[in-house]
Amino acid sequence: MAKATFGAGCFWGVEAAFRQIAGVKQTAVGYSGGQTKNPTYEQVCTDRTGHAEVVEVEYDPEQVSYDRLLEVFWANHDPTQLNRQGPDHGSQYRSAIFYHTPEQQAAAEASKKALNESGKLRRPIVTLIEPAREFYRAEEYHQQYLEKRGQSSCHI
């Protein structure tokens, strides 16, 4: 098994998208990239902890490639919006890839470059690519939030 961590705005819809991918064994929503230890949702929403809302994906690399996960990441948010997605704004909603290995870093940088150069987007990508940091699992009511409510996607 391998791990991948992505921040793409509100974590509910992002988690739902990754859960649909064959080879993804488990997902968890949470917070990463900040300085506060064990932050709560309320703390992260203040935009003062430095954390991004993220999805941690546990996947079988023999069934799904990291490149495929990157495709899902890019397709499920607007990576040209700085610190916002749709009506949600603040650094907690930033677009970020938190890599766990040098190979993930190289793949993330290559896919960002290719998408930037593809002409598919009107503005440059602002997605941050950073080493994975401590992951703090969000409160249980956030886990598989849309699935629990019989929804398949968010407003974004």
**Residue 156 pLDDT:** 46
**Residue 45 pLDDT:** 93
pLDDT in tens, 141-151: 778 756 666 66
Higher pLDDT, 143 or 101: 101
Beta bridge partners, 98, equal 5, 130
- Whether domain 2-148 has CATH 3.60.20.10: no
Q: Specify whether the CB–CB gap between 64 and 99 falls below 8 A.
A: no
pLDDT in tens, 25-59: 999 999 999 999 999 999 999 999 999 999 999 99
**Residue 146 pLDDT:** 64
**Residue 27 pLDDT:** 97
pLDDT at 152 over 70: no
| Residue 10's pLDDT band (cuts 50, 70, 90) | confident
In Å, the largest CA–CA distance within the chain is: 40
Q: Specify whether the CB–CB gap between 19 and 106 falls below 8 A.
A: no
Tokens of 101: 């290995």
Q: Specify whether the CB–CB gap between 23 and 63 falls below 8 A.
A: yes
Enumerate the active-site residues.
10
